[in-house]
Chain A
Amino acid sequence: MLEKTGLKELNDIESELKVNFESTTTTGCASGTCD
């Protein structure tokens, strides 16, 4: 179920996002729908 619902992949992304977040103050619009 973890794989089918994508939760496993989402968990895997977390550490990658954290590395990127911490190396830059780049924030971006969270929803990706900025004007």
Chain B
Amino acid sequence: MIKDNQILRGLIRKKIILYWHNHSSLTQYKSILEDIEDFLLPSLVYYFYLGKENYSDFCNYIENINLKEKSFNHITKVINNYLDCYEEIQGKPIGDIHPGGSTKYLKEHKVLYNKFPDYGDLLSNLSSEIFDDYKKFFPKITKSKQQILRDYVPINLKAKDENTVCKYYFNLGRIIPFLLFIRAIDINAENMIINLPYPVFFDMEAIFSGKFADKSKVYNLKRTGIVKMEEKEDTSVLTGGIKSRDSLLKPLICGNIKAPYIRWRTQSKGKYSNLPKIGKSYAHPSKYLKSIKKGYYETSTKLLSQRKKLFNITKESEAYVRVIIRPTRMYRYFLLKSCYPQIYLHQNLNSFFSNNLQNCNLIYKVNDGNLLDTEIKALLKSQVPAFYSNFKKKTILSPKGEKVTTWNNSPFKIWSQYQKTLNLQFFEKQIETLESCIR
């Protein structure tokens, strides 16, 4: 039997597809359709209750409302702007929509984007010194005219036997010290996949991290995303997805056709591809600690003995890395909240974004510059702000290469000092953290 909320969702989707029929090349993609739904839903429910006496139920309301009506002017304009930003993309969009051609999209088994980030050469120059099989850990990145192309990696997480799982965890152990060496962050479950017997890190844009803004300022395993930080919201590479988690940023229409309502906290149906399986069960990392440690110490020792050589390679390399100044989920939160009539009818959205952003901490210590204005400009177009940096320079750039703000020291300078401090004790401490997080 079809539930009321399924009927409601179907009707809303049908309405969206019909209204934005001129954008059928975009609404064919589930992620875009869902975004439009997320932006539109609060206004639909709000205006249903305001004019409830005119309709027999919510289905009748959806079938009869005209999105061209004045009440929907603001939100349809927001959605039109959002769709306009996608027009330049010539394939299936993946991930967040960013300003200035930095949105990634899939075309003919390649992931494409413009100009930034540009770290492929640096990553292969460094990883090839440490691993003969470095190509198995990172997809190939090539450049063509103004575009950057990344190979699309197939998922293969079903192990035939225990030996394959041991090899996988050995390889995972091998790569962790390298990720620590290059000060990587954002290595979450959603940014890696398994292609047995290797973990594949396909989104390595946030490497050579600059100075952190919080009190401790130190860089260690807890910053990377590899180990869990929250029992409740585990998104880590090692254990993310084992336990169920809440979805918080996806509105769901609930209730019945007479009395619908929106819920935000629901059980997440999102699945990661970060855990190998034997049969139908996950192969939990705690059972393979020996394999992880074996790989981990093999690379740690190698990194320390090759440090000078790796420094010289880095010194001679060029790269543009992503600077995740604020967690992108915060941008998404404010964006979704700004789509409520109770907000957009009563507040200037420029001030709304400005006040909310100023109340949130930054991940990195950066100077003010035009950061806030640039963030607001992107959010007003329903885009997720993104920033990049030539890792040898102090300037922080927009996706189009415009100066937004500055570091006090370049990421390279921060890394140069950091790598000098690395020793066996550091790596031992990190593996102890790993052990405690997976038990």
Residue ranges of A at the interface with B (Cβ–Cβ < 8 Å): 1-7, 9-10, 13-14, 16-18, 20-35
Contacts and interface: CB of A to CB of B under 8 A. Distances in A.
B97 to A, nearest CB: 8
A24 B230 contact: yes
Given A20-B230, A21-B329, 4 more contacts: A21-B327, A31-B34, A31-B384, A34-B191
Interface centre among B45, B212, B262, B342 (most CB of A within 10 A): B262
B103 to A, nearest CB: 11
A34 B363 CA distance: 21
Contact of A29 (B95, B230, B337, B341): B95
Contacts of A27: 185-186, 188, 206, 324, 327-329, 363
A18 B384 CA distance: 17
Contacts of B99: none
Interface stretch (B171-179, B263-271, B294-302): B263-271
B263 A26 contact: no
Interface of B: 31, 34-35, 42, 45-46, 49, 94-97, 104, 106, 111, 152, 185-186, 188, 190-191, 202-203, 206, 212, 214, 222-223, 225, 229-230, 233, 235-236, 247-251, 259-265, 270, 324, 327-333, 336-337, 340-342, 360-361, 363, 384
A5 to B, nearest CB: 5
* Most chain B C-beta atoms within 10 Å of own C-beta, residue among A1, A23, A35: A35
Contacts of B34: 31, 33
B99 to A, nearest CB: 14
Nearest 8 interchain pairs by C-beta? A6-B262, A30-B332, A24-B229, A35-B94, A33-B31, A30-B328, A27-B327, A21-B327
Contact of B329 (A1, A5, A17, A23): A17
B249 A5 contact: no
A11 to B, nearest CB: 8
Contacts of A17: 248, 329-330, 333
A23 B229 contact: yes
Contacts of A2: 342
Contacts of B152: 35
Contacts of B106: 35
Contacts, number: 138
B225 A26 contact: yes
B327 to A, nearest CB: 4
16 contacts: A5-B46, A5-B262, A7-B340, A7-B342, A17-B333, A20-B230, A23-B230, A26-B186, A27-B206, A28-B329, A30-B328, A32-B247, A32-B250, A34-B203, A35-B94, A35-B95
A27 to B, nearest CB: 4
Describe A's contact surface by its main secondary structure.
loop
A29 B96 contact: yes
Given A4-B49, A35-B104, A30 B331 contact: yes
A17 to B, nearest CB: 6
Given A6-B251, A10-B337, A24-B222, A31 B49 contact: no
B35 A3 contact: no
B45 A13 contact: no
Contacts of A9: 262-265
Given A10-B336, A25-B327, A35-B202, A30 B262 contact: no
A25 B185 contact: yes
Given A24-B222, A24-B229, A31 B337 contact: no
B340 A28 contact: no
A30 B329 contact: yes
Contacts of B190: 28-29, 32, 34
A26 to B, nearest CB: 5
B94 A33 contact: yes
